[in-house]
Each structure stands twice: as structure tokens, then as C-alpha cells.
Amino acid sequence: MGVVVGPRVIDAGASLLSVLISPVPVAAGYPSPAQDYFDGRIDLNEHLIKDITSTYVVRVTGDSMEGAGISDGDELIVNRALEPKDGNVVVAVLDGELTIKRLRITRSGVVLRAENPAYPDIRVPALADLAVWGVAVRCLHRL
């Protein structure tokens, strides 16, 4: 179903993590002349996290979001301060159960949509207890 496992707080007091960054983009199509050096560093905290006080990492279980590039075992960076909008991938709590789905707001109501045709849409009944826990902003995917 694509559920979350144990949100982890990102420690604001943690040391900054920076890695080397290539000075040129790397072609994914035809190869370009190789650069055998790296230019400067990029701070992954600054690049991946916009609001440290509202940012969590959740681990995904299940395959319901594979069409969105989110696989079993991936980790999502989730911002709880963002206003959820139609089309966002969200961590939702529906009747006490956590799930990751694409939020669709339609004329007939709210739908939590899986990104895998093997899973049906979840049409949220009017009397259901739904809370959007946070908006996914990045997916950390292992190769």
C-alpha cells in the first residue's frame, strides 16, 4: 500500500554535510568530454532541507508509488510546514493509518491516488478522519 515507517527528526545541531560538486552537468544521453576534476562543495543540508524545524525523513514500504519514482525502501524528505496542494505526494493519516499517496482534490471530494495501477484510488468519505501529515519534497532512492 505504500506506508511510512517511523519518521525521524533531522537533527538541527548535526554537523553540516558537504560533498564535492562537478562544475559541469553530466550528460545522461550522449557522452560529453570528461572533466577530471571537481569544483567546490555543495552543502546537502542546504540543498535538500528548506525548513529544518519542519523536516522529517520517512522510510517507504510497499510499491504503490512506483509510478512516481518512489520504491520500497526509499526514504522521503517530508516538510510538515508546506500547505498540501492538489497533485502533491503527501504522507496522510486516514482513519489512523499512515500512507503515502498523491493528493487529488476534485469536485466530488478528496482522493488519495496510488501511482501503481495494481492499487485502487482511495476516495476519502466525507466522515473519514483525514489529516495530511506532510508534503514529500525529495525522494532518496538507492540505485
Residues with catalytic roles: 64, 101
Q: How many CA atoms lie within 13 A of 107 on its CB side?
A: 0
Question: Which of 81, 89, 105, 67 shows the shortest CA–CA distance to 137?
Answer: 89
Question: Which of 114, 110, 105, 112 shows the shortest CA–CA distance to 126?
Answer: 110
**What Å distances lie between residue 48 and 52, 68, 79, 132, CA to CA?**
10, 19, 11, 21
β-bridge partners, 19? 42
What's the one-letter identity of residue 69?
G
Cα–Cα distance for residue pair 136/12, rounded to 1 Å: 19
What's the one-letter identity of residue 19?
V
